[in-house]
Amino acid sequence: MPVQALFKPFHLGALELPTRVVMAPMTRSFSPGGVPNSKVIEYYRRRAAAGVGLIITEGTTVGHVASNGYPNVPQFFGDAPLAGWKKVVDAVHAEGGKIVPQLWHVGSVRRIGTEPDASVPAYGPSEKLKDGQVVVHGMSRQDIQDVIAAFAQAAKDAQSIGMDGVEIHGAHGYLIDQFFWEGSNQRSDEYGGSLANRSRFAIELIQAIRAAVGEGFPIIFRFSQWKQQDYTARLVQTPQALGEFLKPLSDAGVDIFHCSTRRFWEPEFDGSELNLAGWTRKLTGKPTITVGSVGLDGEFLQFMVNTDKVAQPASLENLLERLNKEEFDLVAVGRALLVDPDWAQKVRGGREQDILPFSREALMTLV
C-alpha cells in the first residue's frame, strides 16, 4: 500500500500542514519549574524536521491553582513558561512544521502535595471527602468561570506567541471529561444531570476560547470514550447518541476533533467498520484525527506498568486504506514517534526496517 496518503498536505482555513502525520500529545515531565527548556525545544524540533506535519504538545497546564497533577509538567501561563514555548514554536516553524499546545486541567486526579502549591486540593465537578478531609473540592459556579477564563487566556497567549491553534484536553478522565461522565459528575445544577447538561462546561469553555482568539484560529478538541479509571467506559452507546453529544461542541467552535482510542482499527459501533474518528467525521462534517497504537504491534496499556515487553513496528496497511477512503483526515502517532523522531521520514522513504521498537525505557529520556 503506497504511503503517499500520509504525506499529502492538509488545509483548513489558514492552517496548512505539509503532511497528515500528527505527533500525539504525550506527558513527558521534563520541564522543571513548569518551563520548557533547551531539551524540550530540541525534542519537538527534531520531529518537525523529520516530516511531522502537526505537533500537539504534551499536556500543558492552564493558569488555575489546581490545574496540575504531576511533577515537572510544563505550564502554559507565566512569563518564563511562555518564553520557553515561544522558542519551541520558532524552532518548529523553522523546520516547516506546525504546532499547537494541548491545554490541560487534571481535575480530581490531582493529589494533595502536588506542585506548585502542595496545599491546594483537587478541583472537580463534585466534592469528595476522605477521613474528613476535602480531597476533591466540588467546583462552584465561580470556580467554573475561573477555569474557563484560564483556558481562554491560555488560548490567547498561544495565539500571541505564534502557535498554530490550540487543543483542548477533553478526554481520559481529566477535568472536562469528569463533567461529561455521569460517574464523576453528581451535580444537581445546570452543569449536571443529562449529558447535554454535563456538556455545558465544555461548550462554554470552547465558546470562551473562540471569543478570545477570534475566527480562523483552529480549535482542536480531544475526547475519548475510555477513561484512565475505566478502559471499558463508554460515554455514548450509539451513533445517534454520539451525534447528539458532538453537535453542540462542534457548534460552539471546534474545528477538528481528536478522537482518542486505544486501537485505531477497532470499529466503534456494531454494524460498521468505522472507528471513532470515522463516525465523528461522518456525523459532524468536521475534520478528525485518528489515534491508537499507530505503527506498533503492542498497545500503550502494556507499558503503564514495569515490563520488559517491546512493541515492534507494525504494518500501516489498514491505516492507509482507511485514510485513502477519507474515513479520517489526520493520523496521530504517539509512542512510535516518542522513541524514533525520524519515524515519518523512515515511513516516507520505505525504510520500515530501520524504525526503532518501543520499550518502557524510552519514557525515561527525551530524544
Annotated active-site positions, please? 174
SS (H, E, C) the chain: CCCHHHHCCEEECCEEECCCEEECCCCCCCCHHHCCCHHHHHHHHHHHHCCCCEEEEEEEECCCCCCCCCCCCCECCCHHHHHHHHHHHHHHHHCCCEEEEEEECCHHHCCCCCCCCCCCCEEECCCEEECCEEEEEECCHHHHHHHHHHHHHHHHHHHHCCCCCEEEECCECCHHHHHHCCCCCCCCCCCCCCHHHHCHHHHHHHHHHHHHHCCCCCEEEEEECCECCCCCCCCCCCHHHHHHHHHHHHHHCCCEEEEECCCCCCCCCCCCCCCHHHHHHHHHCCCEEEECCCCECCCHHHHCCCCCCEECECCCHHHHHHHHCCCCCEEEECHHHHHCCCHHHHHHCCCHHHCCCEEHHHHHCCC
